[in-house]
Amino acid sequence: MQFPERQYEVFVILGDPEAQPAWTEPQWTRISDILDPLIKNARDRAAVRSSQMRKGAGSPNQRSISLGRIGWNAQGHKKWVHSSPLSDSIEFIDTEVWAPSWTTCEREGRAPDVYVALRNTQSSPIEKVTFNPIFILAVALDADSHLVSSARTRAAALSDVLGALLRVRWVRPWGIRMGGKGLFTNAIGDLSTVGLFKPGPRNQHPPSLDILEGDWEVF
């Protein structure tokens, strides 16, 4: 099976912006405990990458922090997880987990067994947000049977931790082929930044299926 054709059950959780941020230590500990069996049972070791900004004097002067490649373990979590909800110096943007790592997936020409994304919708707000964060969990349907069978239960547990205002699922491929050989678009790995929402405002009302692009259903 080619990289984009691999089929997934994808879960998207839009969390409560009033809850403790998911990228702070107490919350991430709860989240990683739920995810740990999925990540560790993938076909090879996982890798994590995170985008964060060091604040300067005024938002235009923010500088990206180089965290490099991060492992899926307690030491790796400490590299990017915030110790408190508020930070005067560092702003969390997003984090993604590939299991196995993106380099392994590229080398093998096979999409990951498990993919996770966490995005802060308030990183540069234009208006007050009605949900935060965006959390995505995708599990390949042809992966280890234990991964697949427990995915929905774990997604429900994550929804509780995040105070989900909307939780949805969709069975879909990793991406949609386009043009020449090997090219595809609308990848699951892009959903936290593009492709998840319909064009137009999304923070005027509580989150609902109406703001989402695609055949999502509530779970």
pLDDT of 126: 60
Q: List, for residues 79-97, the tens digit of each pLDDT value.
A: 999 986 655 678 899 999 9
Lowest mean pLDDT among 40-44, 48-52, 62-66, 201-205: 62-66
CA distances from 111 to 13, 163, 216 (A): 22, 30, 21
Give the residue extent of every domain in the chain. Answer: 3-218
- 106/195 Cα distance (integer angstroms): 22
- 138/9 Cα distance (integer angstroms): 6
* Nearest to 168, CA basis, from 134, 130, 143: 134
pLDDT of 183: 73
Q: Give the three-state DSSP class for 188.
A: helix
pLDDT of 64: 83
164 pLDDT more than 60: yes
Q: List, for residues 107-128, the tens digit of each pLDDT value.
A: 999 999 999 999 999 865 566 8
Higher-confidence position of 183 and 148: 148
- 133/135 Cα distance (integer angstroms): 6
- Cβ(150)–Cβ(37) under 8 Å? yes
Q: Give the three-state DSSP class for 88.
A: coil
184 pLDDT more than 90: no
